Amino acid sequence: MRRGRPVAQSRGGGASPTRRTMTEERRLTSVNTGEQHAGEATEAGATAADGQAPRERETTRMWHITLSVSGPVVPLPEVRQALEQLAHDHPFLLTSRYAGDHAEIRYWEEARDLHDAAALALRLWGEHRSTAKLPPWEIVGLEVIDRGTYHHRITQGHGLTPTTPVGVHPY
């Protein structure tokens, strides 16, 4: 028995001609499901089954994320412990600075484009809230920049310098 979404019935009782198959469903562009679709090549230079030129594989890039959160005052040891657990759960975390009512988290994210990087960053706090015992704060700021912009800022003397200690630190 095949499971799936119910098929929309037309007034005549047959399946609706606008029904999309599961492979035609919309999905995140940064998620590789491993499926081959018509028009995709299995190796560089190969032609697709329909005779069209193959699409180039989308590459991912590194994005520097700064996530700012804020909320009601929480004891500093609890904030520190939660951010240390988040750093353990999310290994690309660079630095976390915190106070009793806000924190700033900086890390690298790999994604296809800015939209995907921002979406992943916006999910980070909520997805780790229970496992890392993060404070019930909301996201109040987000900055996503590409690697080139990050390095340009560093060379211009803006942003965190390479000598900034990695880890969890109070403001």
Condensed to tens digits (0 to 9), the pLDDT of residues 144-170 reads 999 999 999 988 888 766 556 788 889
The yes-or-no verdict on residue 139 having pLDDT over 90 is yes
- Residues 87/66/113/149 CA torsion (nearest 10 deg): -120
Q: What is the pLDDT of residue 159?
A: 72
Go through the domains of the chain in sequence order and give each one's CATH number: 61-170 (3.30.70.100)
* 165 three-class SS: coil
Contact between 64 and 144 (Cβ < 8 Å): yes
d(CA 143, CA 157): 18
Q: What is the pLDDT of residue 74?
A: 97
- Residues 45/146/104/136 CA torsion (nearest 10 deg): -40
pTM: 0.65
